């Protein structure tokens, strides 16, 4: 969803946003592909660890993700004689998917029914080797090259 700044909004000018957007673009289109390629190579070779000159990786087995069928959960509020949850308790247990709601409601309607959620925990899964002599100029050039490539594809 494109961000539209209202005409009457107060706006902070911050050049760091360009770096944030560019890095996000690299992550979205370049880093994710690199991760998938490395994971596939590790799986093909039957290894759990990989390394480069400056970084290490550990391929961890993923667990089975499960989710609750909200329709079945809601039935627990309505079955006579077997009611396990009140409707209020049901609503305390569930959350709406913003992406799905955006398919049906306008941004203004979504804002009207939104509440502040707790901040999610961020996790970083990459790790530089201790005392690695990282060449940040080379990294910067690689990022610039990747961003330029993605911008040219987007145009």
pLDDT digits (tens, 9 = 90+) for 84-127: 888 888 888 888 888 888 889 888 898 888 877 665 543 334 55
Res 143 pLDDT > 60: yes
- The answer to whether 2 and 127 are in contact (CB under 8 A) is no
131-136: average pLDDT: 68
Can you list the alpha helix ranges (DSSP code H) found in 49-135?
70-75, 87-93, 98-101, 107-112
Give me 54's structure tokens.
């400056």
CA nearest neighbour of 139 among 38, 55, 56, 32: 55
pLDDT at 122: 35
120-140: average pLDDT: 58
Res 136 pLDDT > 50: yes
- The answer to whether 50 and 42 are in contact (CB under 8 A) is yes
Name the one residue in this structure whose structure tokens are 């089975």: 64
pTM score of the predicted model: 0.43
Average pLDDT, the chain: 78
pLDDT at 154: 66
- The answer to whether 134 and 127 are in contact (CB under 8 A) is no
Give me 29's structure tokens.
């289109």
Length of the chain: 155
Res 8 pLDDT > 60: yes
């Amino acid at each position: 969803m494109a961000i539209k700044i209202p005409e009457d909004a107060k706006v902070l000018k911050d050049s760091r946003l360009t770096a944030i957007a560019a890095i996000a673009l690299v992550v979205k289109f370049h880093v994710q592909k690199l991760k998938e390629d490395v994971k596939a190579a590790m799986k093909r070779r039957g290894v759990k660890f990989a390394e480069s000159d400056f970084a290490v990786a550990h391929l961890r087995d993923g667990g089975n993700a499960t989710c609750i069928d909200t329709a079945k959960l809601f039935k627990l509020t309505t079955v006579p004689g077997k009611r396990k949850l009140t409707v209020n308790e049901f609503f305390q247990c569930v959350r709406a998917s913003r992406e799905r709601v955006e398919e049906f409601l306008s941004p203004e309607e979504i804002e009207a029914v939104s509440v502040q959620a707790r901040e999610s925990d961020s996790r970083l899964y990459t790790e530089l080797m201790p005392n690695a002599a990282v060449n940040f100029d080379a990294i910067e050039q690689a990022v610039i090259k990747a961003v330029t490539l993605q911008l040219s594809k987007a145009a």
